[in-house]
Structures are given as C-alpha cells and as structure tokens.
Structure 1
C-alpha cells in the first residue's frame, strides 16, 4: 500500500474539557476515566488553535455561566476559529458581552452554545470554509478531517481511484458531510451526494448551486440507498462514520457497483465491511494508508475496489 504521514502541528479540530480548579481554569484533555489535564504544550495542534488556549482560560474564568466547568470544540475554518461551548450554567447578557468581546479581540467569527440545535452566542464576522472551489458555511461543530494535509491526501487517493470510463452514469457519494469530497468529485462527473445529518446537508445544499453536486437528505442506516440505484452508478464513494457503513453495506453488496472507493478511519470496521465484497470477487486495486492521527494507533485508509472485467482505475 501507499503510505502518507501528515506533519506535526497541523491538527485543525480539537475537543477540550475545562474545569475550575483552585480559582483558575484547567483546560485540556481528560485522563482516561480521570480528571482534565491542563494542556501546556502540544505537538499536534495548529499553532493558531494552541495560541488561543491561554486567552480561553482567562475568558472562561470570567464567565458567570461557568460554575464547575464544561467542554469546548474548536474547528479552525478558513474564516478563523469556530467555537462550540457547553457549560454548566445558563449564559446571560453579561456572558454574551464577554464572549463577543473575546471574539472581536481574537478574530473568532462565531461562538455557539452546544444545544439542540446549537445557539449562536457571538457572531462578529462571516463564517466560511472552502472545499475546492466551493465556499461552504459549516454548522457549529461540523466534521472536518483533522488536518488539511490529511484531507488533501485522502482526496488525491479518491480521485486517483476513479475509473477512466463510465462516469457518465454519475457518482453516488454516501456520507457526504459538508462536501469534503463532493466538490472535487463533481469536477469529474455529476455527484448524487447523500447525507443524514440535517445541518451538514443544509450546508452542502447551500453551496451546491451551479455545481454538479446534487445533495439528498437521507439516514443511510434507516433508509439505505437501494441496490438497483447503486448498481447503475459509474462509481460509489463512501466515507462512513467510525462504526462503518452498517445497513447500507448490504445494499452495496447486492447492487454490485463496478467501482467502489471506501474511505475509513477504523480498520476493524473496514475489514468487516469489505469481507463480503472480497467474497463476491471484488479486487483491491489500491490501498492508501494516511497517518493523520500522529502518535496513536489510528490510521485513515482509502481502498479502491473493482469487479473483475471492468475498467481499471485511472492511475493519475
């Protein structure tokens, strides 16, 4: 297999916890089944995120709505850091004033409260991110690949796996998210992009005008795309959640699409999902392993599979 390792200091999303301890804020990661460990250095995080940690400690310490603690998710978008906060108190006008001032001072366009749906606490500028030529507005807490470098490596492996012929039938993309792969795929064929999360779907739909991306809202575990539709596609591309493709996998197996490109962050789920394809005679044309979870046992994999006798992938 081809292998690629991302560089340190490139991680652009992180989930942190914070606690009030001895009249100060401890901000960092949990010990396994333990307390929060204050993060004083990190070889993974993008410097723009790490530089926010000390100001965040000071700001959170001043928030009346923070009693014992909470947690915070940071996504580094093209428009700047995007914060999603959960806290154990209810923010009032004073909390919002503090958050708005913090946003202006540190170039943070949006801070949201983790509710259902998320509530905007401070909005001081436009929120946006780019996937290829498309400009999207990710919802608070949106899924991003951990690093730009890793995302580019995944995208390159997926595009290299597309067949040279047969794409007039279009590409079916499953678990499309906000469009990480969708707009790159659309440069090669029309893309019917299925996504089950309403906020991610709305983001994808808003950005898809004038492109060959056709978003569809669908819970693929409860209502999988059926075998007949999958079998007609020029290629099926899927990037399922950590647990794998679930009920959708049975329809992929039954549909026998000529070309499948499977992106996975869980080798155990990948092996389980690919076993029936292997038993049906699918051939693994290429495997790209991307280590974007440095100093951990996790890896990202891109598998390109074809049925014997079909057009081989374009080795670009």
Structure 2
C-alpha cells in the first residue's frame, strides 16, 4: 500500500481566499516612490524612446503628472532634472541656484501638494559639463572626492531650502552623508532626512535614464566611485559607514539583479531599506511585453513583489502609476 503524504502544503493554496489570507508579502501604494523627469520649457511632454510610457515633463506638466499620481494613492516623488548644456560647468554651480529649474520646481510642487514627500537627488552629473558625479581633475581625470563634498553640501542645503523632505545623495563620494548631515544641521534643517544611495553599482541598467536626461559622462566611466557588481560584502561596509554618518534610510541600486544585496542589507540594519527599480529593468519588461513575450502587467507586479520580498521597505519605480492602477482594481 502506498504511503500517502502527511504534510500537504497545497491545503493553504486551495482557494483564493486562503491564498490571500496566508500571503507573506503585500504591495501597496505606500511602497512606491515615483521617479519623474523634469525638463526646461513650457507645456511639453516628451516620451523617452527607450522607456515606453515614461515622459519628460516641463514644470507645468509635471505638476499635472504628480496630481494624477496622487489621485492613484502615490505620495512620494523623486524628480530628476535635465539641465540645459549652457548652464553646466565643471563645478555644477547651477545645482545651488534657487532660481534654477530644479529648485523652483521642487518649491512649486511643495506649494501645490504640501502633503506629498519630495526626495531630491544630490549628485553633480546633471549640472556638470563633465557628466560625472564629482569634480573632475582637468589634468589627471581623477574624480576629486573631498573637493566634491563642498559642492554636494551646498546642493543639499539649497534643496532643503526649496522644500525637499528627503535628500538622496546618489554620488557615492566617501564621507558625503556625514558632510551633508552636518551642513543641514548647522543650517536648521535637522528635520530633513537623508536617504543614502548606500550601494549604487556601476551598472549597465542605467542606459535609458542617461538617455532621458543626457547625463552620460563625457569621458571615462563611473567605476572609480560606483560599486563593482561582483561585490556584496562591500555593500555591508558602505552600510556601516552610512549608519555611522547619520543616514535615515539606505538604498540599493539597481534592484532586480541585486535582490541578494537588498536581502543582506535588510538583515544587517534596523534602518528602512529602499531599492531603485531602475530604467533598464523597466525597459526590458516593456520591450518584452510589446513583443508579446511576457504578460507586461503580471510581470511588472511580480518584479515589484520580488523586490519587496527581498527586504525593500520602499521601491523607487517607473512602474509606480501603472502598478497603483492595478492595485486600485484589486
């Protein structure tokens, strides 16, 4: 006589109600931070060719986009600016201009939507004539870490004055969290949070983002400051430093190919952990869906669920509006 199984895990899968009852990971719109692209001009939206469904917005149209996202339940936004080349220089001076595109738009968003959270980006590359996240030595081509901190601190302070709720240093310079925290605290912005890009990898998945904002380096690459994709323990070293320096939240970027890093960071900190579901990850799913190779909606939701399951408390994702609409349908 055959011995029948005693343990039957399928009993917990036998109906939709039971499956939902025992589901271990759940997505909500509270999990999403929506990255949006800002450009000069008026009354324009321009689709990013390598990111179907994602647009670059002038400030007036960006306000409309944020309003639509708020209606879907999204409450946090991360604007990234495309700066006119004529305003770029090697010291990224435009980054601290209170009358510039980025800071004026941040202030306007906070005036019109005072309850949303705005996370700003601190790195020199959108404003740098060199396209790097730090100051480039004109003779050696070296990225000058300590000299860059002064620029990053002034950039963060200007963003706090404009109304930023969370400062997001994405530059990967050593010591920048401590430097920015000190600048903010000395200028009465101790209430402004820092979400550090703790482990930002030198990834091939950033291509569509750089297309969207024309922010690729003019010479060289970013491997001397962004992390080697082969390394996981190094992320834990960066985590320990960010905790010591005063980060309020930590981030892993990209997300989908670094789920193991998200999991390791989550296991080694009590700080909130975020992950950036980057442009290349978005583009791959969209391209496959357009070719009929995958179900785009189901794949999107599975990817976002996997990032949260790995340990992310929040996810920066270009899918935010689309996923919020799916969640609203139930």
Scaled by the length of structure 1, the TM-score of the pair is 0.31
Q: Which has the higher contact order (CA 8 A, sep 6+)?
A: 2
The structure with more helix, counted as a fraction of residues: 2
